[in-house]
Structure 1
Amino acid sequence: MAKVPRNFRLLEELEKGEKGLGAGMAKPMVTNAVVEACSYGLDDGDDLLMTNWNGTILGPPHSVHENRIYSLKIRCGENYPDTPPEVTFISKVNLPCVDQRNGKVDLSKLPSLSQWKRDFTMETILIEIRRQVEHQLSHGSSIMLTPL
């Protein structure tokens, strides 16, 4: 099977991000609530290389974090999607997959992303991070938010 070039892949992701995650697509194993609680888009619309992105994750419903917005920076390097993007929380969060010193997400600590695959997307990453947030909250742990 032929590989889709980086820029075509990022254009597909941009279009999907602009339409809203999950728009018109059936997603097995992903509830609409999770899909609708994540969004992403280009940081600068003039970025022709589509390198720098912003992501958001809404706090889980029925928790003290409901309606809180977790903001992330996503950097898709020149080898994306063959290599994962760099993902960094803007706010400090207490999650096992996040380096507390700089907010960088270690994707290898997210079970379903530990073996990066080319077909994973920014949407996949955001959904998996949100699942980690829900998992941590369901086990009684806090995910304190403070500016970095």
Structure 2
Amino acid sequence: VLLKRICNDHSPTKLGNLSKLEIHSAACPHQQTPNNMAKVPRNFRLLEELEKGEKGLGAGMAKPTVTNAVVEACSYGLDDGDDLLMTNWNGTILGPPHSVHENRIYSLKIRCGENYPDTPPEVTFISKVNLPCVDQRNGKVDLSKLPSLSQWKRDFTMETILIEIRRQVEHQLSHGSSITLTPL
């Protein structure tokens, strides 16, 4: 009974010298990865992402690089701070510098279902955006159309998704295509 409770309870507490995550890993072999590493439970993973999102992406980097610039042009956070399941998130992507989209903000809704991070979240643009990976009827992003995300991996994050979408925006602009923004 105790092991079943531990498997279903992912709250961050300590039991003796062992953390609940360590006990969970030992008690719940069905939640282990093929290389025998314990899978981080959904809520722990989302708490990590929330903490990183609140600190700001790319924060603490010693010197700016091209990659850091892309990271700092994306942000995300919980849609509702009272959402204990951490399901609904907001994301933003800043338009690339030195383009007609500089200083524009692309807003997205991110929905992390109960199987996240094993399955990708649903990502939807709030504004209508003309990108090959976006369904023009409803703003939903088709992650399979983003080369580096076409094969979803558990270690991908909301940050990974936002960075890849921003790279798609930059790629679109560098190839002379326009990106139109209109409210949905």
TM-score (norm: length of structure 1) = 0.96
Compute the RMSD of aligned alpha carbons.
1.7
Partner of 2:68: 32
Residue 24 of structure 1 and its aligned partner are, at CA, apart by 2.8
Q: How many residues align?
A: 148
SS in 2 for 1:98: coil
Distance 1:113 1:121 in 2: 10
Residue 23 of structure 1 and its aligned partner are, at CA, apart by 2.0
Give the % identical residues. Answer: 99
Q: Does 1:43 align with 2:79?
A: yes
Residue 15 of structure 1 and its aligned partner are, at CA, apart by 0.1
TM-score (norm: length of structure 2) = 0.78
> Which of residues 100, 112, 122 in structure 2 aligns to 1:86?
122
Structure 1: give runs of 5+ residues left out of the alignment. Answer: none
Deviations 1:90-128 (A, max 9, x none): 000000000000000000000000000000000000000
Mark the CA change 1:104 to 1:27 in structure 2 (over 3 Å): closer, same or farther. Answer: farther
Residue 32 of structure 1 and its aligned partner are, at CA, apart by 1.2
Partner of 2:154: 118
Distance 2:46 2:38 in 1: 16
Deviates more, 1:23-32 or 1:82-91: 23-32
Residue 25 of structure 1 and its aligned partner are, at CA, apart by 5.6
Q: Does 1:16 align with 2:52?
A: yes
Deviations 1:3-35 (A, max 9, x none): 000000000000000000122368999611101
Larger Rg: 2
